[in-house]
């Protein structure tokens, strides 16, 4: 059967082989490949349906449908915000065996849709009602499965804010083989609709009151604040409810204001160990400072007590001293953010992608666990049924690597690359200059239209002008108060646009070597983007507009002449890493003379835009993970993209069709560029190589020793790339 998505349809059931509802005439397929089967839940703002994805061999999935009709504006806006937030949080948390996998978020026919993985099983409240009070052993198992999960989401700076028995599912054991990594009786955390980033919650302003009464701690109920300790409080109340079989709102003594859960255990004739009592008492303290401050802290205590007691509890053997030491290192790292070295934001995102990486097999629904070897320089996929031990050790090793990267200033040069000479790698392209002024990482480069001046922006807050022919340093521009991430040169070569971590866009007069203008988000603001670093800027070929992409998930279009903010575009669900204009408009629109530009984001999408329109013309999907760079061909017919999935992809601009995928890099691809003649595609990666591809055949032509960024000169005979320790390499054919 095929179920109609029209909420007002009187007879939504239809035969499987029809395309339109036989009752109301509505389309039965969402986005031409999601087919509804039956509703499995309803709410005031929509419903949840069981569905299948026809593009994935009828794989089952869950579709949440949000309908804003018939509600007042304020409640609809808030509900819509929570619905969109759930999609963002599922995307941010990536692939984790205890969190539903996010598939898609989109709008169709004035309804919002969120598509996620189908998980079969029952929640812990249903289990409590069916089987009665939980034993101490079952409570320990819940702690051992949920604490590492909370450790993971808190490290991603996400607070769930609504942990309760209804939001913890136990996978149906009979279905365990169908869910790949999820082992038998694995617990899964759902409903991230009210979850939020720590930076959004713990601001100076009062937050929105969220959570479920009885499970939510006092700081959430009274002030809308939340911390990792808040989720731990909710976990503690969940365990107490499951132990006592008494709802939390009946466990408080109204006279003393204290929890009286022990008396309910006594009435039942049940008794638990003093060790578990102590842990539960500390989890549900009224004052935040008196609770466990993190899941890591509690895991360390469990490991320490287990070791001292000779691992009396069989489950406790899963946490040994080696894991405790690793956790302590992680805890020290988290508690002292001011002592951390500064990692490039893109490198951090690449590490996140490495941690949460999803490798889909064409005809399978299972996932591959990746283990590192050779100190993280290479990987081999291992398909296995992970135990708690495997999962825990995997994350611990990852954290050790992150700490090591921080301590060593993120030196990502692979061993093979270190011992090879720049001049001996390429058979076709030769380095003619190795430029180095200091050791600051070069984040962005641009070449003037005449091919004489090379401009670079670096971590040391400086913009440098170089003679592209000789490699001589011509000038340093000082004006930014943080690292410079984006550089662009106007078509007439007279102006430079720069942006960076200080959230400002500066306009430079290239002849006078002075600041000519600053772009402000609104009158009185010192910033161009108020809420995040600016990763990329681009100038339209006609010189009229400037586009900027930011960590605040927005794109802004500015009037280049007076700095006026023309549009603010907010379709991406995550950080916008790159924006770039096409020199030629090949998309047929009503305003065909308007400029076309593209953007890419950590939400794994590429969007095509037209200046003057507030909605994207097309969205390109195909990367698994963040997309870091996009570049148009000079004829405007194709666009290339590079991402965290180690691939470079080529797309048809007019149709949005994926034309080719270039595979060869072993780390994230952070920069792509196309030669002016349309024959070559260059890609720069964290694996220490710059690869040159034939655009027509997709064949790898050459592999150079270098890094992002990459840029061709206007004549196509010179290629500039980043190098190790702040170098820039100039290659000539």
Q: Indicate whether 57 and 8 sit together in one domain.
A: yes
* Residue 413: how many other CB atoms lie within 10 Å: 16
Percent of the chain past pLDDT 70, that is, above it, reads: 74
On the question of pLDDT at 359 being above 50, the answer is no
The helix (run of H) or strand (run of E) holding residue 139 is: helix 136-155
Q: Indicate whether 436 and 583 sit together in one domain.
A: yes
Provide the pLDDT for residue 305. 57
Residue 577 included in any domain: yes
Please give the Cα distance from 49 to 326 (Å, whole number): 42
Measured CA distances, 593 to 584, 585, 587, 589 (Å): 9, 7, 10, 9
Convert the pLDDT of each residue in 281-297 to its tens digit.
999 998 999 999 999 88
Q: Indicate whether 170 and 85 sit together in one domain.
A: no
Residue 110 included in any domain: yes
Provide the pLDDT for residue 120. 85
Please give the Cα distance from 56 to 1 (Å, whole number): 18
Provide the pLDDT for residue 417. 34
Q: How many domains does the chain have?
A: 4
Who has greater pLDDT, 362 or 31?
31
Convert the pLDDT of each residue in 529-564 to its tens digit.
988 999 999 999 999 999 999 999 999 999 998 899
113 contacts 65 by C-beta, under 8 angstroms: yes
Q: How confident is the model at residue 220 (pLDDT cuts 50, 70, 90)?
A: confident
Residue 442 included in any domain: yes
Is 715 tagged catalytic? no
On the question of pLDDT at 88 being above 70, the answer is yes
Coil, helix or strand at residue 27: strand
- Concatenating the DSSP letter of every residue in 241-261 gives HHHH---GGGSB-TTT--B-H
Residue 86 included in any domain: yes
Q: Indicate whether 12 and 126 sit together in one domain.
A: no
Residue 337 included in any domain: no
Q: Indicate whether 93 and 127 sit together in one domain.
A: no
Please give the Cα distance from 676 to 374 (Å, whole number): 39
Look up the CATH number of the domain holding residue 54: 3.30.200.20
On the question of pLDDT at 148 being above 50, the answer is yes
| Residue whose structure tokens are 């380095």 | 431
State mean pLDDT over 564-581: 94
Percent of the chain past pLDDT 90, that is, above it, reads: 44
Convert the pLDDT of each residue in 604-645 to its tens digit.
999 999 988 888 999 999 998 899 999 999 999 999 999 999
Look up the CATH number of the domain holding residue 284: 1.10.510.10
Q: Indicate whether 173 and 193 sit together in one domain.
A: yes
Convert the pLDDT of each residue in 512-528 to its tens digit.
899 999 999 887 788 99
Coil, helix or strand at residue 548: strand
Q: What is the domain range of residue 520?
A: 415-732
Q: Return the minimum-mean-pLDDT range out of 146-155, 584-593, 708-717.
A: 584-593
Most confident of 64-73, 203-212, 497-506: 497-506
Q: How confident is the model at residue 345 (pLDDT cuts 50, 70, 90)?
A: very low
Q: Indicate whether 520 and 399 sit together in one domain.
A: no
Q: Indicate whether 577 and 724 sit together in one domain.
A: yes
Pick the catalytic residue from 17, 109, 162, 492.
162
Q: How confident is the model at residue 260 (pLDDT cuts 50, 70, 90)?
A: confident
* Residue 274: how many other CB atoms lie within 10 Å: 8
For CA atoms 562, 568, 569, 570, the dihedral sign is: positive
Q: How confident is the model at residue 304 (pLDDT cuts 50, 70, 90)?
A: low
On the question of pLDDT at 317 being above 60, the answer is no
Please give the Cα distance from 563 to 79 (Å, whole number): 36
On the question of pLDDT at 732 being above 80, the answer is yes
Look up the CATH number of the domain holding residue 521: 2.130.10.10
710 contacts 671 by C-beta, under 8 angstroms: yes
On the question of pLDDT at 688 being above 80, the answer is yes
Q: Return the minimum-mean-pLDDT range out of 30-34, 105-109, 459-463.
A: 105-109
Provide the pLDDT for residue 45. 64
Who has greater pLDDT, 238 or 407?
238
598 contacts 630 by C-beta, under 8 angstroms: yes
Q: How confident is the model at residue 76 (pLDDT cuts 50, 70, 90)?
A: low
* Closest alpha carbon to 109 in 67, 63, 47, 49: 67
Residue 455 included in any domain: yes
Coil, helix or strand at residue 142: helix
Q: What is the pTM of this model?
A: 0.49
3-state helix, strand, coil in the chain (%, to 5): 25, 30, 40
On the question of pLDDT at 174 being above 90, the answer is no
95 contacts 357 by C-beta, under 8 angstroms: yes
For CA atoms 139, 140, 141, 142, the dihedral sign is: positive
Who has greater pLDDT, 87 or 491?
491
Q: Indicate whether 103 and 233 sit together in one domain.
A: no
* Closest alpha carbon to 316 in 285, 277, 276, 271: 276
Provide the pLDDT for residue 572. 93
Provide the pLDDT for residue 109. 82
Last residue of a domain, one of 230, 262, 293: 293
Provide the pLDDT for residue 423. 35
Last residue of a domain, one of 381, 407, 433: 407
Residue 264 included in any domain: yes
Measured CA distances, 528 to 446, 532, 534, 572 (Å): 21, 10, 9, 18
* Closest alpha carbon to 195 in 207, 213, 206: 207
Output phi, psi for 689, to 5 deg: -130, 150
Q: Return the minimum-mean-pLDDT range out of 44-48, 231-235, 729-733.
A: 44-48
For CA atoms 73, 78, 84, 87, the dihedral sign is: negative
Q: Indicate whether 475 and 612 sit together in one domain.
A: yes
Q: Indicate whether 35 and 162 sit together in one domain.
A: no
Outline where 284-409 has alpha helix (H). Answer: 295-308, 321-335, 345-355, 388-407
Q: Indicate whether 436 and 526 sit together in one domain.
A: yes
Question: What are the tokens at 661?
Answer: 């995928």
Last residue of a domain, one of 61, 87, 117: 117
Who has greater pLDDT, 412 or 615?
615
Residue 191 included in any domain: yes
Average model confidence (pLDDT) across the chain? 78
On the question of pLDDT at 590 being above 60, the answer is no
Q: Return the minimum-mean-pLDDT range out of 320-334, 481-495, 670-684.
A: 320-334
- Concatenating the DSSP letter of every residue in 260-318 gives -HHHHHHHTT----HHHHHHHHHHT-SSGGGS-S-HHHHHHHHHHHHHHTTS-SGGGGG
């Amino acid at each position: 059967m095929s179920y109609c998505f029209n909420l007002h349809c009187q007879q939504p059931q239809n035969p499987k082989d029809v395309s339109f509802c036989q009752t109301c005439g509505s389309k039965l397929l969402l986005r031409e490949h999601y087919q509804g089967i039956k509703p499995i839940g309803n709410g005031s703002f929509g419903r949840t349906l069981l569905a299948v994805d026809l593009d994935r061999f009828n794989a089952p999935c869950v579709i949440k449908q949000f309908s804003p009709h018939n509600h007042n504006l304020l409640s609809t806006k808030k509900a819509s915000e929570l619905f969109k937030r759930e999609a963002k949080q599922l995307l941010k948390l990536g692939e984790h065996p205890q969190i539903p996998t996010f598939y898609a978020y989109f709008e169709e026919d004035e309804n919002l849709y969120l598509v996620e993985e189908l998980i079969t099983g029952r929640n812990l409240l249903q289990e409590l009602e069916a089987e009665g009070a939980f034993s101490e052993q079952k409570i320990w198992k819940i702690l051992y499965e949920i604490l590492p999960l909370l450790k993971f989401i808190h490290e991603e700076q996400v607070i769930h804010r609504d942990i309760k028995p209804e939001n913890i599912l136990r996978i149906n054991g009979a279905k365990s083989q169908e869910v790949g990594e999820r082992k038998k009786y694995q617990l899964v955390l759902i409903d991230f609709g009210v979850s939020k980033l720590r930076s959004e919650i713990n601001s100076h302003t009062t937050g929105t009151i969220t959570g479920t009464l009885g499970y939510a701690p006092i700081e959430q109920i009274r002030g809308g604040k939340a911390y990792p300790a808040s989720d731990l409080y909710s976990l503690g109340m969940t365990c107490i409810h499951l132990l006592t079989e008494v709802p939390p709102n009946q466990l408080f003594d109204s006279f003393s204001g204290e929890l009286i859960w022990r008396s309910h255990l006594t009435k039942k004739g049940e008794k638990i160990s003093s060790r578990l009592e102590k842990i539960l008492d500390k989890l549900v303290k009224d004052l935040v400072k008196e609770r466990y401050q993190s899941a890591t802290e509690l895991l360390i205590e469990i490991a320490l007590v287990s070791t001292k007691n000779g691992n009396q509890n069989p489950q406790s053997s899963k946490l040994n001293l080696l894991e405790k030491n690793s956790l302590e290192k992680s805890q020290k790292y988290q508690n002292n953010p001011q002592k951390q070295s500064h990692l490039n934001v893109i490198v951090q995102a690449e590490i996140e992608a490495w941690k949460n990486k999803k490798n889909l097999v064409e005809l399978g629904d299972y996932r591959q666990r990746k283990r590192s070897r050779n100190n993280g320089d290479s990987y081999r996929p291992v398909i296995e049924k992970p135990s708690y031990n495997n999962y825990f050790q995997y994350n611990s090793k990852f954290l050790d690597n992150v700490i090591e990267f921080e301590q060593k200033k993120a030196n990502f040069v692979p061993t093979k690359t270190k011992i090879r000479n720049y001049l001996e790698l390429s058979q076709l392209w030769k380095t003619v200059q190795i430029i180095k002024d200091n050791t600051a990482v070069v984040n962005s480069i641009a070449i003037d239209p005449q091919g004489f001046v090379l401009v670079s922006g670096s971590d040391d807050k400086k913009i440098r002008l170089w003679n592209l022919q000789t490699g001589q340093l011509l000038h340093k521009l000082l004006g930014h108060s943080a690292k410079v991430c984006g550089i662009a040169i106007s078509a007439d070569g007279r102006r430079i646009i720069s942006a960076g971590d200080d959230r400002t866009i500066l306009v430079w007069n290239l002849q006078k070597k002075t600041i000519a203008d600053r772009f402000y988000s609104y009158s009185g603001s010192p910033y161009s983007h108020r809420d995040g670093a600016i990763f990329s800027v681009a100038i339209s070929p006609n010189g009229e507009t400037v586009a900027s992409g930011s960590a605040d998930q927005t794109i802004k279009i500015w009037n280049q002449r007076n700095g006026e903010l023309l549009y603010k575009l907010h379709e991406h669900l995550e950080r916008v890493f790159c924006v770039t204009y096409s020199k030629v408009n090949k998309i047929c629109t009503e305003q065909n003379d308007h400029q076309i530009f593209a953007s890419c984001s950590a939400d794994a999408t590429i969007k095509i835009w037209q200046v003057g329109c507030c909605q994207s013309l097309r969205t390109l999907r195909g990367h698994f993970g963040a997309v870091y760079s996009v570049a148009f061909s000079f004829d405007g017919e194709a666009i290339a993209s590079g991402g965290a999935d180690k691939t470079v992809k080529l797309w048809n601009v007019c149709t949005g069709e994926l034309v080719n995928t270039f595979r060869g890099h072993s780390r994230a691809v952070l920069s792509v560029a196309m030669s002016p003649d349309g024959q070559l595609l260059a890609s720069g990666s964290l694996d220490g190589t710059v690869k040159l591809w034939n655009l027509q055949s997709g064949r790898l032509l050459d592999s150079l020793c270098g890094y992002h960024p990459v840029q061709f000169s206007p004549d196509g005979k010179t290629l500039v790339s980043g190098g190790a320790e702040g170098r820039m390499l100039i290659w000539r054919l």
